[in-house]
């Protein structure tokens, strides 16, 4: 188990380690190596490999409390540079495409402030 896997899902940690080349035990890295790994992880972009289409899309309920976010930028009030959009935010609506509109609109707004 790595320090990351104590706070993140195991599959995410495994993929990060695989892609970044950090595959030795933590005590075998210098402070400089660890700082570089942290930088790589903080800048890591997850790019979806695909979608199952609109037929499988569903709305969710729950998520990040809207009171914890800027209503203009969707940036977390407590963590500068951390943005949340779409269905990870606790916003619900009627079925019928409204969740897609919310995802696109909130993503557009956040994208204007990154």
Local mean pLDDT, 10-residue blocks, the chain (114 residues): 71 81 82 87 84 76 88 94 91 77 92 87
Q: Are 104 and 64 in contact (CB under 8 A)?
A: no
Q: How much is the pLDDT for 59?
A: 61
Residues 6+ apart with CB under 8 A from 37: 20, 22, 29
Q: How much is the pLDDT for 67?
A: 95
Q: How much is the pLDDT for 56?
A: 76
Question: Three-class SS of residue 5?
Answer: helix
Residue-wise pLDDT for 95-113, tens only, equals 677 878 888 999 999 999 8
Q: Which two tokens stand for residue 107?
A: 């993503």
Q: How much is the pLDDT for 77?
A: 95
Mean pLDDT over all residues of the chain? 84
Q: How much is the pLDDT for 14?
A: 81
Phi first, then psi, for residue 41 (nearest 5°) are: -65, -45
Question: What is the rounded distance in angstroms from the CA atom of residue 61 to the CA atom of residue 65?
Answer: 11
Q: Are 102 and 74 in contact (CB under 8 A)?
A: no
Q: How much is the pLDDT for 69?
A: 96
Which residue shows structure tokens 């897609």? Answer: 100
Q: How much is the pLDDT for 11?
A: 83
């Amino acid at each position: 188990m790595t320090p990351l896997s104590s706070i993140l899902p195991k599959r995410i940690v495994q993929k990060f380690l695989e892609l970044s080349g950090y595959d030795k035990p933590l005590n075998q890295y210098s402070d400089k190596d660890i700082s570089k790994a942290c930088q790589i992880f903080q800048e890591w972009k997850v790019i979806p490999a695909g979608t199952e289409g609109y037929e499988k899309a569903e709305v969710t309920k729950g998520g990040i409390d809207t009171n914890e976010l800027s209503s203009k930028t969707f940036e977390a009030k407590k963590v500068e540079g951390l943005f949340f959009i779409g269905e990870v935010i606790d916003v619900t609506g009627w079925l019928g495409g409204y969740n897609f509109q919310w995802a696109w609109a909130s993503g557009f707004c956040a994208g204007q402030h990154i």
